[in-house]
């Protein structure tokens, strides 16, 4: 009986330490107040494109950068710690992927149309019909022309990033669409069978 109690205690201790380590490491600081360098400059440039950082990148992580990170975290559903732990870094990667897709798919569209494309990506992530991750949705086979023809790899501009930000904050100009297409250039006849919701710019949004 004593041996069993010792074993149970050991297992409970391991579980507690593992859980505690996971919880701590999930929010472990990466870039934070007081640090400097090229990674901070890159972070500031990205926050600038998103509309959170309103100065030229300095490479120093001060209170202004911290406040910008907090705003980003709040808008994108990450705990507002003010530093870039793993959860924030992962969300930044997702934002990059969405911005690349928006830029590749809709850079000639009005801002509302860009937000609508970002919203479609988010609607797909939330739908049971599509993959449940941003990566899975964007890189699903033949899902986005920009991925197929390489335009995905173009450098997104500030408009693309801010479109992603607006979609993350809840603006959905597509009214819940999970598909969109350009009726002039679309070659897959199947897309024309989807129920049309609205047209924004050159894109028709559908479900």
User: Looking at the domain 31-83, which fold is it?
Assistant: Muramoyl-pentapeptide Carboxypeptidase; domain 1 (1.10.101)
Sheet holding 179-181, edge to edge: 179-181, 203-206, 196-200
- The phi, psi pair for 102, rounded to 5°, reads -60, -45
Q: How many of the other CB atoms lie within 10 Å of CB of 187?
A: 7
Query: How far apart, in whole angstroms, are the C-alpha atoms of residue 56 and residue 59?
Result: 9
Query: How far apart, in whole angstroms, are the C-alpha atoms of residue 206 and residue 199?
Result: 9
Q: Return per-residue pLDDT of the chain as tens, 207 residues.
A: 444 443 333 434 333 333 333 444 444 469 999 999 999 999 999 999 999 999 999 999 999 999 999 999 999 999 999 999 999 999 999 999 999 999 999 999 999 999 999 999 999 999 999 999 999 999 999 999 999 999 999 999 999 999 999 999 999 999 999 999 999 999 889 999 999 999 999 999 999
Q: Is 3.20.110.10 the CATH number for 90-206?
A: no
């Amino acid at each position: 009986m004593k041996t069993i109690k010792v074993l149970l205690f050991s297992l409970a201790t391991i579980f507690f330490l593992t859980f505690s380590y996971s919880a701590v490491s999930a929010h472990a600081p990466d870039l934070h107040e007081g640090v400097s360098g090229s990674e901070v400059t890159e972070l500031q440039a990205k926050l600038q494109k998103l509309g959170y950082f309103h100065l030229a990148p300095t490479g120093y992580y001060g209170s202004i950068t911290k406040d910008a990170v907090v705003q980003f975290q709040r808008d994108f559903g990450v705990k507002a710690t003010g530093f870039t732990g793993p959860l924030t870094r992962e969300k930044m990667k997702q934002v990059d992927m969405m911005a690349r897709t928006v830029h590749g798919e809709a850079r000639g569209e009005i801002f509302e149309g860009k937000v609508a494309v970002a919203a479609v990506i988010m609607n797909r992530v939330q739908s049971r019909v599509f993959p449940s991750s941003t990566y899975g949705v964007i890189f699903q086979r033949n899902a986005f022309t920009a991925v197929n023809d390489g335009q995905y790899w173009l450098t997104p501009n500030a408009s693309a990033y801010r479109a992603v930000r607006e979609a993350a904050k809840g603006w959905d100009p597509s009214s819940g669409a999970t598909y969109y297409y350009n009726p002039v250039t679309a070659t897959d006849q199947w897309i024309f069978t989807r129920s049309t919701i609205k047209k924004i710019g050159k894109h028709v949004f559908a479900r």
